[in-house]
Every structure is written in C-alpha cells, then in structure tokens.
Amino acid sequence: MSNLTKILIVLLTLSTILLCGIVVTYVANADNYKQKYAALNSERDSLEKDKDSLNNQLKEKIQQKDDLEKSLNGQLSTLKTRADDLQAKINTVERERAELLERVNGWASITKDFQATTEKQTQLLGTAQEDVKQLKAEQIKLSKELEQTSATLVEKTAIIEAAEAEKRRLVEEKADLQNRLDKTMRAGGKVAAAGTPVTQEKGYALPAQTTAAAINLKGLISEVDAKNSLATISIGSADGVKEGMKFHVTRGSEFICDVLIVDVDTEKAVGVLELVQSATGGPKVGDNAATNL
C-alpha cells in the first residue's frame, strides 16, 4: 500500500469522525432550538396576552381619566360658582362693615356723653350708699335701743304683774284672816273694830312668808319643748313647787320668759311659757328659773 493511499485512508477516517461529530452536534442543537422555539412561542403568547391585558388596563385608565376629568371639571365649575357667591357675600359684608363703622363713629360721641352721665350717676350712687349706710347704722342703733327698752319694759311689766299677783294674794289672805278674826271675836262675844287695820295687816302678813314668792324658789330649766310652748324646771313638789306658781326665767341679767306651772312631780315641774322674748331666742336648758326676779 502506498503512502498516498494511507494518507487518503487517514483523511477519510478523520473526515468521517468529523462528520459524525457534526451530525451529533446538529442533532443536539436541533432539539435545543426546537425547545427554544417552543419556549419563545409560549413567551410570545404570554406577552401577547400581557399586551392585551395592558391594553385593556390602559383603556380602563383612559376611561377613568376621562371620567375623573369630567368630575373634576364639574367640581371646578361648582367651586367657581361658590367662589363667585362667596365673593358677592364678601362684597356685601364689606359694605355692611363700612356702614357699621359709620354707625360706630356716630355712636362714639353718644358713648362719651353716656360715660360722663354714668360717672355722675356713680358718684351720686356712692353718696346715696353712704347715706344709706349711715341710716342703717342709725337704724341698728335705734333697734338695739328699742330692744333694750322693750326688754326693760317687759321686765318691769313682769315685776308689776308679780307685784299685782302678790298684792291680790295678800288681799285674799287678808280677807281670809279677817273672816277668821271675826269668827274668833264672835266666839268670844266681841266684834272686830271697823276701819283700816294697818298695824294688823302688818302683823297678819307674816304667814305670807310661806308663799312661793316669799320662799324664793330657785331652779334651772332642764328641758324645753318650744313646739308646744312648754318647759321643765329642775325642782318639784319636794322643794315646795305647786301648780299655779309662776317662775321667772333669766339668763344673766336678761329676762327670758315666765313659766306657769301646770304639772308638778317630786323632783321636777312642767309649765307653760309666757311672755317669751323673741330677741333672746326663748328659754334654753341651763337658764335660771326663780319665783322672784
């Protein structure tokens, strides 16, 4: 075999090997291209769908934009109308403000005159108030004097009433003693002398020392029932208190009222309130109660 033949065989072998490689590469690349083509077609379809969706969205956005533009135009028109109305109102307010300023300027002088008048009236009022204060002070002073005079008058009246009661009691005792004396004289065959027995009145007046006024009973107010005008004193029949006795209630040197005894117990007595002095607030627990002032 010649060298040329060997070279041709080697070249043929190499060509065959190269051709086989090319075929294998082609077959492999053909499958890859087919997959890529399918993928590209699928991607294209997806992109077409996305494009259609985007177109639809774009149409919707354009429609929304148009609707929004129409709405905004309507609102803008409404706002312009309102702005025109507000401007008209502002103009009206400005005119009214100008008129009010004129009125204020007109009232300024009237206000000054009114202030001057008010100041004069205030001065007169102050003077009148001072006069009223003085009159009130004088009235209070006169009221106190009247109260003191009334209290003194009541005390004197109570003393006079007590004296008149004592006088009536003495007259009754005198009459009783006179009757007893007449009976005694008649029993002895004598007749009592007529006339005014001054000396005898003094002599027979001694038993009157046993009366409430002479005994000068003293106690304290232990209970007060202002609703029923009743009061309870701290002494009773054991101390010589009897029904019908009158106790004079005092607080310090102030006359409060009288208590006419209507119920007597051993250690206390209840009486009706008389001649209550409202200025003193009436009797209170602890006030002095005595048959003599």
Query: How far apart, in whole angstroms, are the C-alpha atoms of residue 59 and residue 153?
Result: 116
232 part of a folded domain: yes
Q: Check if the beta carbon of residue 288 is closer than 8 Å to that of residue 220.
A: yes
Q: Which helix (H) or strand (E) holds 116?
A: helix 3-187
* pTM for this entry: 0.31
Instruction: Examine residue 288 and state whether it is found in any structural domain, yes or no.
Output: yes
User: How far apart are the C-alpha atoms of 153 and 261, rounded to whole Å?
Assistant: 24
Sign of CA dihedral 50, 52, 58, 63: negative
* 246 within some domain: yes
Is residue 128 assigned to a domain?
no
- Tell me whether residue 4 is in a domain: no
**Is residue 246 helix, strand or coil?**
strand
Residue 282 resides in a domain: yes
Whole-number Cα distances in Å, 208 to 125, 163, 170, 212, 219: 67, 14, 7, 9, 21
Confidence label for 202 from pLDDT (cuts 50, 70 and 90): very low
- In total, how many domains does the chain have? 1
| Distance between start and end Cα atoms, the chain | 187
Q: Classify residue 281: in a domain, yes or no.
A: yes
Residue-wise pLDDT for 139-175, tens only, equals: 787 767 777 777 777 777 777 777 778 778 888 877 8
Is residue 284 one of the residues assigned to a domain?
A: yes
Q: Which domain holds residue 232?
A: 216-293
CATH number of the domain encompassing residue 227: 2.40.10.340
Token digits for 160?
């006079």
Please report the DSSP string for 66-103 in residue order. HHHHHHHHHHHHHHHHHHHHHHHHHHHHHHHHHHHHHH
Q: Report whether 257 contacts 213 (CB < 8 A).
A: no
For the chain, what is the mean pLDDT? 81
| Lowest mean pLDDT segment, chosen from 45-49, 120-124, 139-143 | 139-143
